[in-house]
Amino acid sequence: MIHQFKIKIVLALILVSSAMQAQHSLPVYLDDNQLIEARVEDALSQMTLEEKVAMVHAQSKFSSAGVRRLGIPENWMTDGPHGIRAEVLWDEWDQAGWTNDSCMAFPALTCLAATWNPEMAALYGKSIGEEARYRNKNVLLGPGVNIYRTPLNGRNFEYMGEDPFLASCMVVPYIQGVQKNGVAACVKHYALNNQEVDRNFVDVHVDDRTLYEIYLPAFKAAVTEGNAWAIMGAYNRFDGQWACQNERLLKTILRDEWKFDGVVVSDWGGVNDTKEAIYNGLDMEFGTWTDGLTSGVSNAYDNYYLADPFLKLLRSGAVKEEEVDKKVRNILRLVFRTTMNRSRPFGSFSTPEHSEAGRRIAEEGMVLLKNDRQVLPINLIAAKKIAVIGENAIKMMTIGGGSSSLKARYEQSPLDGIKQRIGSQAEIVYARGYVGEVSAKQDGLASGQDLSDDRTPAALTAEAVQVAKSADYVIFIGGLNKHEGQDCEGADRASLGLPYRQDQLIQALAKANKNLVVILISGNAVAMPWVKEVPAILEAWYSGSEAGNALARVLMGDVNPSGKLPFTFPVQLMDVGAHSVGDYPETATKDETYKEGLFVGYRWADQQKIQPLFPFGHGLSYTTFAYGKATTDKKTLSGTDVIKISVPVKNTGKRAGAEIVQVYVSDLEASLPRPVKELKGFQKVWLNPGEEKTVTITLDKNALSFFDDKRHEWVVEPGQFEALIGSSSANIQGKVTFEWK
């Protein structure tokens, strides 16, 4: 009530001041937020009950009602985190068949995270926000920041890895970039949606320390630092309540603790109860009774939980009007921040600038995992014949994968990118090697590729080996794809291994040619039984429209790879906490307790003293770097002190490159169990050959704190700490100790 009273005062001031301005020049300045709040209250005060209820639920697949009578526009949502989804029919998942909605497909968010470069996240957000704006959408359903808990999760490719600090640092600039376009970022899927198996029913249980230290931080950063204007509830349950109507998540944490003033949107079909949706903090219901997500009556939007059932309760007085007013205020605030923000830019769509942005992010995100004998970059002077082998060299990857599927204006395949880059400098011979999926289609959109090939695996292997034997280099391009059971929404992978007998093929190629380079196109870790037989391995991710171009430039050395892994590559599934103790995928009662607790990813490997295949934060370069002695500006700190960790880094190789210096904090005297070390700072530094720079990373008390679930607050305990400086989580280059008093 106070809030409304204040706003009424403000409104009165506006009226008075405008009258006064007629006589005197006594302006009353209201800041942008106050103006928006005044407009919100003004609009709300003129809306009917029916208009309010119409606003809180979908009217079509991706839109909700405005108030035409008052000139308040509809809200239009669009997937997804990697590009702007093609227009669909009003009430269908199928394409609307427009001819002007072919977008730029940006790299998957695992690739963005692998850049470890917040500037790339800002460029990404700006670019995709321009595309959403141009397509006249005011809410982008992305980015996703669910933590990488198991390498089997079908949607990990849409997220930013296993570490909450890295995900937090990368999600904030993305959101800010999107919202500068007057488009709301809708960070998702809040929260604990870390698998696709039974995503609509699994009931996740996790202790508060793990919740606050691992699974919430990236969402908190999105809200409190990124100022996200929207957030999407997840499908799963958390402690017995669906996330889209979970009082603890949506009211206690999101509103009370984080002071979120944006809109809570359900996932499509994520609402399951009217009363809980009314009272537990949901603002907009989408996708219910939507074919494909939940069964039920035809798509009569009046049947939605927050439609007629809600209106009936309001009309009867069983529910007070203030309940719908709370929701409508948040939605009107969204409208005035976006569609009715008269100074927002016009956007742009599938432009050369967006192509360049996509290519730069892809190039910076690719991770050179291994490079024995410096097989890479390819020496085009020596190479007369290059064999390119594997289905992922030719397969389109922008279609499929679920809601992040795109109708890209173009997608350059790795093979085409390599051919275009090499031209006549060498002969390129392609062999299929294996047959995985012969076509890709989703929501009525097809890749148009028919990769059918009825040869037997033996014949395919024989051809590939034959081609490999006579080549100077063999580039095998395989990995996963966007089909169900691979990197795709709605299901998880069945195993850690590569599908389609790729392991056997890779081993045969390794015998046929010592200059074998394995390129993985994937969004998840995979097992590599052949890792010792292959001299060079590159993780190229799903890199979008510019995939072929970016990969070719990295392989030929036009670009020096500088990406680092945003998640651990385990040797085997049992090396992962979720699989060895953690209840994944769920119990018979659909319950799943994250028994591994805080110990996710490298935190688990450290605690269990497990050697990963490739560790979190790992990534090589075509040059080499040497770290000098790490120093600090103080040995003890307390209160609001910060500590500066400095370390000289020198490029000791022959070509320019970038190194990502990582700082992990180890609490040597914690009263509660803590991971051996945790990422709390990083910086990417570009160096020319022979150049040395001192990298300084500042840590404050937050970097030393842990969440004390008994006191329900972040605490830092007096005692000794170590800052470990690493070129990866497993390759520590130096350490310093200091004391918190």
- Which chain residues interact with ligand GLC by CB under 6 A? 79-80, 141, 188, 267-268, 293, 403
By C-beta, is 404 or 549 nearer to ligand GLC? 404
By C-beta, is 199 or 603 nearer to ligand GLC? 199
| Strand extents, DSSP E, 553-639 | 591-593, 625-627, 631-632, 636-637
Least separation in angstroms between CB 694 and ligand GLC: 42
By C-beta, is 268 or 616 nearer to ligand GLC? 268
The residue among 247, 229, 230, 251 whose CA lies nearest residue 238 is 247
By C-beta, is 293 or 397 nearer to ligand GLC? 293
Q: Measured over all CA atoms, what is the biggest interatomic distance in the chain, rounded to whole angstroms?
A: 91
By C-beta, is 145 or 340 nearer to ligand GLC? 145
Catalytic residue list: 267
By C-beta, is 232 or 375 nearer to ligand GLC? 232
Least separation in angstroms between CB 285 and ligand GLC: 13
Q: Cα 232–60–177 angle (5° rounding)? A: 40
Give yes or no for a contact between 367 and 618, defined as CB atoms under 8 angstroms apart. yes
Residue 363 CB coordination number (10 Å): 25
The residue among 509, 500, 449, 458 whose CA lies nearest residue 479 is 500
Least separation in angstroms between CB 640 and ligand GLC: 40
CA dihedral of residues 596, 599, 604, 607 (deg, nearest 10): -100
Least separation in angstroms between CB 77 and ligand GLC: 7
CA distance to 277, 287, 303, per residue, from 296 (Å): 18, 11, 10
By C-beta, is 181 or 403 nearer to ligand GLC? 403
By C-beta, is 115 or 403 nearer to ligand GLC? 403
How far is Cα 18 from Cα 203, in angstroms, rounded to an integer?
A: 55
By C-beta, is 179 or 705 nearer to ligand GLC? 179
| Strand extents, DSSP E, 302-420 | 367-371, 385-389
**Which neighbouring-strand residues pair with 569?**
614
Least separation in angstroms between CB 188 and ligand GLC: 5
User: What DSSP assignment string belongs to 427-448?
Assistant: EEEEE------S--EETTEE--
How far is Cα 35 from Cα 31, in angstroms, rounded to an integer?
A: 6
Least separation in angstroms between CB 400 and ligand GLC: 14
Residue 431 CB coordination number (10 Å): 23
Q: How far is Cα of residue 351 from the mean position of the Cα atoms in its chain?
A: 23
CA distance to 68, 204, 211, 592, per residue, from 589 (Å): 47, 11, 22, 9
Least separation in angstroms between CB 445 and ligand GLC: 14
Least separation in angstroms between CB 93 and ligand GLC: 8
Residue 714 CB coordination number (10 Å): 14
The structure tokens listed for 430 are: 């392609």
How far is Cα 203 from Cα 193, in angstroms, rounded to an integer?
A: 10
Helices 321-337 and 308-316: angle between axes, nearest 10 degrees? 130
Least separation in angstroms between CB 96 and ligand GLC: 15
The alpha helices in 602-674, defined as continuous H runs, are: 602-608
The alpha helices in 24-89, defined as continuous H runs, are: 32-46, 49-55
How far is Cα 652 from Cα 338, in angstroms, rounded to an integer?
A: 49
How far is Cα 180 from Cα 126, in angstroms, rounded to an integer?
A: 7
By C-beta, is 286 or 473 nearer to ligand GLC? 286
By C-beta, is 53 or 230 nearer to ligand GLC? 230
Residue 1 CB coordination number (10 Å): 6
By C-beta, is 267 or 667 nearer to ligand GLC? 267
The structure tokens listed for 453 are: 């090939």
The structure tokens listed for 571 are: 């040797």
Least separation in angstroms between CB 284 and ligand GLC: 12
| Strand extents, DSSP E, 385-543 | 385-389, 427-431, 441-442, 445-446, 473-479, 516-521, 536-539
The structure tokens listed for 125 are: 């957000």
Least separation in angstroms between CB 266 and ligand GLC: 9
How far is Cα 521 from Cα 148, in angstroms, rounded to an integer?
A: 18
Least separation in angstroms between CB 155 and ligand GLC: 8
How far is Cα 557 from Cα 247, in angstroms, rounded to an integer?
A: 52
- Find where tokens 């095998």 sit: 476
CA dihedral of residues 201, 595, 163, 520 (deg, nearest 10): -70
For 536, the 3-state DSSP assignment is strand
